[in-house]
Amino acid sequence: MGNLTTPETLALRWDEVLRDPALRNLPYKIELNAWGKIEMSPASNRHGRLQSLISAELLRQLPEGIVVSEASVLTDIGVRVPDVAWGSASFARTHGESTPFPRAPELCERSFRRRTRTRRFARRSAPTWLPAPRRFGLLPSTARSGTSTKAASAPRAAIP
């Protein structure tokens, strides 16, 4: 299957992808796999709306951090792009505008599509993963204090 690409090479490849004018206006989410190959998945208006709602809710509940939509994160399985990520003020100070982030922010949400890949990303990157959009509601108090929480323990609240 070939050798995996080093983190440094993946970061350089990601910079190359960002500068490629042919990839700028595609209606796809772009990521890199562990070998530096581009992977694309289609975007939808519903997906964008849910992403916006979750971003707004994170800003409301956790105002002391930063919310990033489509944050690029360097992982051992490539450059992955969670739909919505929240990083603490400490994370923001440490990583600033690094692209891709060298590690995942504390909270990431990527359950709008491809559930198996979500689980794999969550297992390998070790952020706390938020529940699926249909169950996203008020974060448990443990999430507000910065400790890990399981998605199943979150209260249910419907997002239309």
pLDDT of residue 100: 95
pLDDT at 106 over 80: yes
Q: What is the mean pLDDT of residues 128-134?
A: 42
Taking phi over 0 as left and psi of -120 to 50 as alpha, with beta for the rest, 4 belongs to beta
pTM over 0.75: no
Q: Where are the alpha helices (DSSP H) in 62-149?
A: 89-95, 115-125, 141-144
Which two structure tokens, joined as six digits, stand for 130? 């938020």
pLDDT of residue 112: 52
Question: From the centroid of its chain, how far is CA 43?
Answer: 15
> Looking at domain 45-153, which of 1.10.340.70, 1.10.10.10, 3.60.20.10, 3.90.1570.10 is its CATH number?
3.90.1570.10
Q: What is the mean pLDDT of residues 63-76?
A: 92
CB-count burial class (<10 Å; 0-12, 13-18, 19+) for 84: buried
- In the chain, count H helices and then E strands: 5, 8
59 vs 112: which has the higher pLDDT: 59
User: With the C-alpha atoms ordered 127, 133, 137, 89, is the resulting torsion angle positive or negative?
Assistant: positive
pLDDT of residue 116: 40
